[in-house]
C-alpha cells in the first residue's frame, strides 16, 4: 500500500510538471497533497454484521459488480453496476430498469426497518451511501466503512424520512466519481401517507428520469477524466443519457404525469425547460414535496439534486411531442474553461461537443394516446415544519462552509479532506438546529472569511490554504500550464511558470511550444477569480432549508441566466452555490451522533478533497 502511495505521488508530480513545484514550499501545500493522496489515515474497520436484535421489515442483498450494458448501438459497454435481490418484504421494494446499467429503483415506506447486505463484487474497495436518508452515522456509508472485494457490509436502519426521491451511490474516498461514472448509482424512493393521500400520478404515470452525461470511445467504452483540468472543473461527457439510455423518449397519454428527475452526472449542471416555453411545474425537490406547486420558466439542476415535476400533457394532440432541454446559461464554470469548452482559445484539448450552458435536448415525450381524463394538480401538497433563525443554536454565528478553489486544490474551510481533522466549528451538538453559511472563501487569503462569516474568525488564522490561495493573485503560477504538461507529457517544460500566469500556461500547453507571452496581463484578476465556479454543496443527514441567497454585484449578469431556476420552498440536501454567491441555510442535526460529511457534489471536486466531516456529539 505504501508502495502504491509513493508511486502515485511520483506519478502525480511528474504529471503536473514544474508548475506545481512552485507551490511546494507554500503553507498548506503538503496538507493539500495529502488530501489528494489518500494519506488521510482512515481506519480500516471490520465490516458491520447483522445484529440479532434488529428485526427487518425489508431485507435485500445489494451487489456491486462489473458488467456489460448495451448503451450505444453496436458494442456493449463495460460498466460497474448495482443489482439487488429481495430477501424479505413487499415485492415492489425492488424494481429493475430493464436493460439499464443503473441500479434498480428501490421503494421504501416511511417507518420500515430495513436491512441491506452490501456485497462488494468489484475488484476495488467500495461503500454505499444513502444520499438524502437520515440514518445513523455508522449506516451512512462514510468512506471509513469501505469494504474490500469479497466483503459484505450490513446496513440496518429505520426509514425516518418523509416521502421523497433519494440516491444510493458509492462513497469511497477519492474514487466516488469514477465508480458513479462507471454506473454505480440508483434512485431510492421513500413513500409515506402524506404523499399517498394526494393520489399523484403513479405506476406507468410516474417516470424516473435520471440524467447523466458520458463520453465514449470508438469501441463504445467509457472514457473518464484524462487530465488534471478534467478534475479541476469537473468531468463532462458529450452524450446525455436518461436512465442509462441515449436519445431517451417516453410515450405518454394526454394526461398528467409525475416525473422524478435526478441529476446523476458527476459535474454537469442543467437548466431544465420545455422546448415550447411551457413553464415547469415543480411539486418537490431533494427533501420531498413542496407545500404548494411552483411554476418556473426553467429549473436549475446540479449534480445530486432532485426534482419532482408535474408534467401535464392534457389537451395535446396525438403525434405531438414535447422536449425537455437544457437551456442556455453562463457563469457556472471559470470563464476560461467555458471558452475552451466551446472551442475558443484554440482550445482543442478541452473542446466539448456539448458545452456546459449550451442548448441541447435531454429527452422527448411523445403523445401517443389521446385520453379525456387526467388527475388535477393538488393546490396544497404537504406541510413542512420550517425553522426560524431564532430556533437555531447559533443565530449570530453561522457555521462556515467556505469554498476555496485554487491550484491543484479544491477545499472547504481551507482544508482538504482528512480523517479525524475536526475543527472547532465542525463540532456540532446533537439535537440542535444550526444556521450555516456557504460562501466563496477565495480571494483574500486567510482573512477573507472573517467579514463574511462571524464564526469563521475562529479558524481564519489557521486556515492553511490562505497562503496558497493568496499566492494565486497576480502571481501567475502557471497552474494550468502545469496541468497541461501532464497531458502532453512534459512538452514545454517549465517555461510556463515564471511570470506567465495561468492562462499563459494553458495556451502554451494547448499549442505546444507557442508560449504564452502577453497573456500574463490577463492574469491580473488573480487565481481566485479565475477559478471561480459554481459548486453544488451537499450535506449528509437531515435535509435543510435555504434561508437566503446573496450575489455579489460583479456576478450579476451571469447570475441572471440562472437565478429564476432555484427553488427555496422545499427541503434540500444539495444547494448550488454560484460564483460570488453566499447562501444561508438552516439544518437540523437530530437523533444521531458521529461523523456526517459535507462536500461538493461535483464528484471530481469531492474526490480532490472538497469534503469535510461534521462531528455530531
Q: Is 46 exposed, middle or buried (0-12, 13-18, 19+ CB in 10 A)?
A: exposed
Examine residue 484 and tell whether it contacts Cu ion (CB under 5 A): no
Contact 307, 300 (CB under 8 A): no
Q: How far is the CB of 444 from Cu ion (least distance, A)?
A: 19
Q: How far is the CB of 596 from Cu ion (least distance, A)?
A: 9
Which of Cu ion, ligand C2O, none has residue 304 at its interface (CB below 5 to 8 Å by kind)? ligand C2O
Which of ligand C2O, Cu ion, none has residue 535 at its interface (CB below 5 to 8 Å by kind)? Cu ion
Q: What is the DSSP letter of 316?
A: P
- Compute the distance between CA of residue 506 and CA of residue 11 in angstroms, rounded to an integer: 20
Examine residue 231 and tell whether it contacts Cu ion (CB under 5 A): no
Q: How far is the CB of 35 from Cu ion (least distance, A)?
A: 14
With residue 318 as reference, give the H or E element that holds it: none
308 phi and psi angles, rounded to 5 deg: -110, 115
Q: Which of residues 114-133 bind ligand C2O (CB under 6 A)?
A: 129, 131
Q: How far is the CB of 450 from ligand C2O (least distance, A)?
A: 28
* Furthest C-alpha separation in the chain: 72
Examine residue 35 and tell whether it contacts ligand C2O (CB under 6 A): no
Q: How far is CA 465 from the centre of its chain?
A: 23
Examine residue 304 and tell whether it contacts ligand C2O (CB under 6 A): yes
Examine residue 587 and tell whether it contacts ligand C2O (CB under 6 A): no
Contact 520, 476 (CB under 8 A): yes
Which is nearer to ligand C2O, 17 or 172 (by Cβ)? 172
Quick one: CA dihedral 55, 155, 137, 440, positive or negative? negative
Which of ligand C2O, Cu ion, none has residue 31 at its interface (CB below 5 to 8 Å by kind)? none
Contact stretch for ligand C2O (CB under 6 A) within 389-397, 411-419, 431-439, 593-601:
593-601
Three-state DSSP at 210 gives strand
Quick one: CA dihedral 90, 94, 97, 98, positive or negative? negative
Nearest CA-CA partner of 112 in 190, 203, 200, 49: 190
Q: Which residue of 72, 602, 607, 614 would you call a contact of Cu ion, by CB under 5 A?
A: 602
Q: How far is the CB of 499 from Cu ion (least distance, A)?
A: 29
Which is nearer to Cu ion, 310 or 614 (by Cβ)? 614
Which of Cu ion, ligand C2O, none has residue 415 at its interface (CB below 5 to 8 Å by kind)? none
- Compute the distance between CA of residue 205 and CA of residue 201 in angstroms, rounded to an integer: 5
Q: How far is the CB of 141 from Cu ion (least distance, A)?
A: 8
Q: Which of residues 314-373 bind ligand C2O (CB under 6 A)?
A: none
Residues binding ligand C2O: number (CB under 6 A) = 11
Query: Which residues have a Cβ under 8 Å from the Cβ of 437 and sit 6 or more positions away?
Result: 398, 399, 400, 401, 452, 453, 455, 582, 583, 584, 585
Determine the Cα angle at 161 with ends 159 and 165, to 5°: 105
Which is nearer to ligand C2O, 188 or 200 (by Cβ)? 188
Q: How far is the CB of 610 from Cu ion (least distance, A)?
A: 5
Q: Which residue of 178, 538, 584, 587 would you call a contact of ligand C2O, by CB under 6 A?
A: 538
Q: Which of residues 108-167 bind Cu ion (CB under 5 A)?
A: 131
Contact 244, 98 (CB under 8 A): no
- Compute the distance between CA of residue 132 and CA of residue 543 in angstroms, rounded to an integer: 7
Which is nearer to Cu ion, 294 or 604 (by Cβ)? 604
Nearest CA-CA partner of 498 in 524, 516, 473: 516
Examine residue 605 and tell whether it contacts Cu ion (CB under 5 A): yes
Contact 263, 305 (CB under 8 A): yes
Interface mask (CB under 5 A) for Cu ion, residues 516-545, using x and -? -------------------x----x-----
CA distances from 37 to 32, 41, 306, 610 (A): 9, 11, 32, 13
Examine residue 540 and tell whether it contacts ligand C2O (CB under 6 A): yes
Which of ligand C2O, Cu ion, none has residue 508 at its interface (CB below 5 to 8 Å by kind)? none
Q: How far is the CB of 589 from ligand C2O (least distance, A)?
A: 16
SS3 sequence of 568-610: CCCCECEEEECCCEEEEEEEEECCCCEEEEEEECCHHHHHHCC
Which is nearer to Cu ion, 175 or 254 (by Cβ)? 175
Q: How far is the CB of 141 from ligand C2O (least distance, A)?
A: 8
Within 488-593, residue ranges assigned H as helices are 501-510, 527-530, 556-559
Which is nearer to ligand C2O, 296 or 538 (by Cβ)? 538
Which of ligand C2O, Cu ion, none has residue 600 at its interface (CB below 5 to 8 Å by kind)? Cu ion
Q: How far is the CB of 538 from ligand C2O (least distance, A)?
A: 5
Contact 612, 426 (CB under 8 A): yes
Query: Which residues have a Cβ under 8 Å from the Cβ of 176 and sit 6 or more positions away?
Result: 169, 170, 603, 606, 607
Q: Which of residues 138-177 bind ligand C2O (CB under 6 A)?
A: 167, 169, 171
Contact stretch for ligand C2O (CB under 6 A) within 38-46, 117-125, 185-193, 597-605:
597-605
Residues contributing to the site for Cu ion (CB under 5 A): 131, 535, 540, 600, 602, 605
Q: Which residues of this chain interact with ligand C2O, rule CB under 6 A?
A: 129, 131, 167, 169, 171, 304, 538, 540, 597, 599, 601
Amino acid at each position: 500500500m505504501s508502495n502504491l502511495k509513493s508511486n502515485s505521488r511520483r506519478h502525480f508530480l511528474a504529471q503536473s510538471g514544474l508548475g506545481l513545484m512552485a507551490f511546494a514550499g507554500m503553507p498548506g501545500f503538503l496538507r493539500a497533497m495529502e488530501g489528494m493522496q489518500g494519506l488521510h489515515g482512515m481506519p480500516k474497520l471490520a465490516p458491520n454484521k447483522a445484529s440479532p436484535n434488529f428485526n427487518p421489515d425489508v431485507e435485500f442483498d445489494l451487489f456491486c459488480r462489473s458488467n456489460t450494458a448495451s448503451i450505444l448501438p453496436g458494442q456493449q459497454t463495460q460498466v460497474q453496476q448495482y443489482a439487488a435481490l429481495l430477501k424479505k418484504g413487499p415485492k415492489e421494494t425492488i424494481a429493475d430498469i430493464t436493460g439499464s446499467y443503473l441500479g434498480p429503483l428501490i421503494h421504501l415506506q416511511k417507518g420500515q426497518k430495513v436491512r441491506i447486505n452490501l456485497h462488494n463484487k468489484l475488484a476495488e474497495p467500495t461503500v454505499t451511501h444513502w444520499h438524502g436518508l437520515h440514518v445513523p452515522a455508522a449506516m451512512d456509508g462514510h468512506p471509513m466503512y469501505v469494504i474490500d472485494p469479497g466483503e459484505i457490509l450490513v446496513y440496518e436502519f429505520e426509514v425516518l424520512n418523509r416521502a421523497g426521491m433519494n440516491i444510493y451511490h458509492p462513497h469511497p474516498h477519492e474514487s466516488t466519481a469514477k465508480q458513479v461514472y462507471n454506473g454505480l448509482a440508483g434512485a431510492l424512493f421513500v413513500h409515506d401517507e402524506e404523499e399517498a393521500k394526494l393520489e399523484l400520478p403513479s405506476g406507468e404515470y410516474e417516470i424516473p428520469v435520471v440524467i447523466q452525461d458520458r463520453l465514449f470511445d470508438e469501441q463504445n467504452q467509457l472514457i473518464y477524466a484524462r487530465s488534471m483540468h478534467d478534475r479541476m472543473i469537473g468531468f463532462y461527457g458529450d452524450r446525455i443519457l436518461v436512465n442509462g439510455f441515449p436519445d431517451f423518449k417516453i410515450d405518454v397519454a394526454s394526461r398528467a404525469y409525475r416525473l422524478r428527475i435526478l441529476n446523476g452526472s458527476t459535474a454537469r449542471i442543467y437548466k431544465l425547460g420545455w422546448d415550447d416555453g411551457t413553464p415547469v411545474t415543480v411539486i418537490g425537490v431533494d427533501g420531498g414535496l413542496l407545500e404548494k406547486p411552483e411554476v418556473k420558466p426553467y429549473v436549475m439542476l446540479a449534480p445530486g439534486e432532485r426534482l419532482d415535476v408535474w408534467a401535464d400533457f392534457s389537451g395535446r394532440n396525438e403525434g405531438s411531442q414535447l422536449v425537455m432541454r437544457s437551456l442556455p446559461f453562463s457563469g457556472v464554470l471559470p470563464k476560461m474553461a467555458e471558452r475552451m469548452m466551446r472551442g475558443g482559445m484554440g482550445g482543442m484539448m478541452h473542446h466539448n461537443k456539448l458545452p456546459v450552458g449550451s442548448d441541447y435536448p435531454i429527452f422527448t415525450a411523445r403523445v401517443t394516446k389521446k385520453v379525456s381524463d387526467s388527475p388535477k394538480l393538488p393546490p396544497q401538497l404537504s406541510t413542512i415544519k420550517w425553522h426560524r433563525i431564532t430556533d437555531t443554536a447559533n443565530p449570530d454565528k453561522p457555521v462556515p462552509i467556505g469554498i476555496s478553489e485554487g491550484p491543484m486544490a479544491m477545499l472547504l474551510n481551507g482544508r482538504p479532506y482528512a480523517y479525524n481533522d475536526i475543527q472547532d466549528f465542525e463540532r456540532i451538538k446533537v439535537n440542535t438546529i444550526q444556521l450555516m453559511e456557504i460562501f466563496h472563501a477565495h480571494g483574500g487569503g486567510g482573512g477573507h472569511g472573517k467579514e463574511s462569516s462571524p464564526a469563521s474568525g475562529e479558524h481564519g488564522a489557521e486556515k492553511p490554504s490562505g497562503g496558497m490561495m493568496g499566492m494565486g493573485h497576480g502571481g501567475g503560477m502557471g497552474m494550468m500550464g502545469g496541468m497541461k504538461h501532464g497531458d502532453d507529457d512534459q512538452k514545454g517544460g517549465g517555461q510556463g511558470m515564471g511570470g506567465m500566469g495561468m492562462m499563459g500556461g494553458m495556451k502554451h500547453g494547448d499549442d505546444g511550444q507557442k508560449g504564452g507571452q502577453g497573456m500574463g496581463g490577463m492574469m491580473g484578476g488573480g487565481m481566485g477569480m479565475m477559478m471561480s465556479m459554481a459548486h453544488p454543496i451537499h450535506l449528509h443527514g437531515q435535509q435543510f432549508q435555504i434561508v437566503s441567497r446573496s450575489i455579489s454585484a460583479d456576478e450579476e449578469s451571469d447570475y441572471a441566466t440562472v437565478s429564476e431556476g432555484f427553488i427555496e420552498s422545499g427541503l434540500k440536501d444539495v444547494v448550488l452555490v454560484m460564483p460570488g454567491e453566499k447562501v444561508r441555510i438552516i439544518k437540523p442535526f437530530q437523533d444521531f451522533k458521529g461523523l456526517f460529511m459535507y462536500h461538493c457534489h461535483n464528484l471530481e471536486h469531492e474526490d480532490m478533497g472538497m469534503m469535510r466531516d461534521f462531528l455530531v456529539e
